[in-house]
């Protein structure tokens, strides 16, 4: 059952927009005020509201919301990175780093996402994976390598995040399992045989990424990426929804062979594709 009407949702989005629109990226990342935290919590609650596809399409077509949702999406993305960096700092300063990892709010989500990746790509112990856009706290790599015995390479274009994640890997004593590189999709292919290339939601533009992968990867290479398919989460993640709406025409030699839809606490659908020729 839909819990809010269109005008109510629109009003809330405008209220949040007016509170966050003047913040720069740096201010969002460094601001720990109650007001900033409150806006993120409201958006998190909004994202969980059950709405149908028609409701979302109506929001997407509303011209008044175009610039509003771009700003809100920017805010959510940056705040999520802020949470990752804060957790990373706690891990680095702790005498019990694994306890800090496992107490992270989204740890259970990452456990389930790792299970989905293993199932979708049929990963086995000893396989090697690449995570494109691994970020400051590469939890997907960490959990996959720790729980499933694979090895991994994270590729991240933000040098600060590369340095943080390298320190995290060292702190968790996983340097033999995980390597972090500074770069982007143009670093691919790697010399190491790779069973899966995971493309982070924040790794964009995906059309450009897949265009490059089409040129350089061999037949049979598997890739995966995550999207939101349902409800307001899909609407609130501007980059993901725009990218996915246009991606099917630009996959080239990559063909989708499986999608695994989420079960709580996960909200992402994992899409798997393989280079067919």
What was the pLDDT predicted at 267?
85
**Mean per-residue pLDDT of the chain:** 90
69-103 per-position pLDDT tens digit? 999 999 999 999 999 999 999 999 999 999 999 99
CA 148, CA 59: separation in Å to the nearest integer?
41
142-176 per-position pLDDT tens digit? 999 999 999 999 999 999 999 999 999 999 999 99
120 pLDDT above the threshold of 70: yes
What is the pLDDT averaged over residues 259-267? 87
What was the pLDDT predicted at 64?
93
What is the pLDDT averaged over residues 50-75? 90
CA 105, CA 102: separation in Å to the nearest integer?
8
Among the residue ranges 37-41, 103-107, 226-230, the one predicted with the least confidence is 226-230
194-216 per-position pLDDT tens digit? 999 999 988 888 888 988 998 89
Domain residues of the chain, as ranges? 6-99, 107-275
What is the pLDDT averaged over residues 124-138? 97
What was the pLDDT predicted at 1?
39
What's the CATH architecture for 107-275?
Answer: 3-Layer(aba) Sandwich (3.40)
């Amino acid at each position: 059952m839909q819990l809010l009407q269109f005008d109510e949702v629109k009003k809330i989005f405008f209220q949040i927009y007016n509170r966050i629109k003047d913040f720069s990226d740096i201010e969002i990342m460094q601001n720990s005020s109650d007001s900033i935290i409150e806006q993120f919590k409201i958006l998190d609650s909004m994202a969980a509201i059950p709405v149908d596809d028609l409701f979302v399409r109506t929001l997407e077509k509303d011209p008044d919301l175009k610039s509003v949702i771009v700003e809100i999406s920017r805010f959510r993305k940056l705040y999520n990175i802020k949470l990752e960096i804060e957790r990373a700092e706690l891990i680095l300063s702790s005498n019990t780093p694994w306890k800090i990892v496992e107490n992270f709010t989204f740890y259970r989500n990452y456990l389930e996402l790792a299970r989905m990746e293993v199932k979708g790509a049929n990963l086995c112990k000893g396989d090697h994976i690449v995570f494109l856009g691994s970020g400051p706290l590469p939890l997907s790599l960490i959990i996959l390598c720790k729980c499933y015995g694979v090895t991994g390479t994270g590729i991240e274009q933000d040098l600060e995040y590369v340095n943080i994640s390298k320190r995290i890997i060292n702190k968790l004593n996983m340097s033999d399992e995980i390597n972090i590189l500074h770069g982007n999709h143009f670093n691919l292919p790697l010399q190491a045989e790779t069973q899966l290339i995971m493309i982070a939601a924040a790794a964009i533009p995906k059309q450009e990424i897949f265009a490059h992968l089409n040129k350089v990867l061999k037949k049979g290479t598997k890739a995966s990426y995550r999207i939101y398919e349902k409800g307001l989460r899909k609407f609130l993640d501007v980059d993901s929804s725009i990218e996915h709406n246009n991606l099917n025409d630009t996959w080239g030699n990559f063909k989708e062979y499986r999608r695994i839809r989420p079960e709580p606490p996960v909200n992402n659908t994992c899409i798997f594709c393989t280079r067919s020729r």
